Amino acid sequence: MDNDEVLGHLLEIESEAAALVNDTQAEADKRVLEAEKQNHAAYEERYRKEGERLENEFQALKEKIRRQYQTELESYSNKIASINVDVNRFSALLDRFVAEEA
C-alpha cells in the first residue's frame, strides 16, 4: 500500500466518521426536541388542571361567602323587623333633647 492509498483510506474513514457524528448529532437533536415537546405538553396539562382547581375553589368559596352574607343580612333584617318602635316615646325623647339644646 503506498502513501496515496493510505491517505485515501484515512480520508475515507474520516469522512465516514464525520457522517456518523453528523447522524448521531441529528438523532440527539431530534430526541431533545421530542423530549422538550413532551415536557411542554405535560407542563401545559398541569397548568390547566391547577387553573381549573383554583377556579373551582374560588367559585366555591365565593358561593359560601355569598350564602353567609345572605344569611347574616336576613338575620339582621329579621332582628330589626322584630324591634318594637314606640314612636310616641321616641318623639318625646327627641323633643327633650331639642328643648335641652335650645
pLDDT at residue 74, as a whole number: 97
> pTM score, two decimals?
0.56
Confidence class for position 102, pLDDT limits 50, 70, 90? low
pLDDT band at 3; cut points 50, 70, 90: confident
> Counting beta carbons within 10 angstroms of the beta carbon of residue 23, is it exposed (0 to 12), middle (13 to 18) or buried (19 or more)?
exposed
Integer Cα distance of 11 and 13 in angstroms: 5
Residues 6+ apart with CB under 8 A from 79: none
- Name residue, grid cell 327633650: 96
Span 18-56, pLDDT tens digits? 999 999 999 999 999 999 999 999 999 999 999 999 999
| Banded model confidence at residue 57, pLDDT cuts 50, 70, 90 | very high
What is residue 95's predicted lDDT score, i.e. its pLDDT? Answer: 87
Residue 26 is predicted with a pLDDT of 97
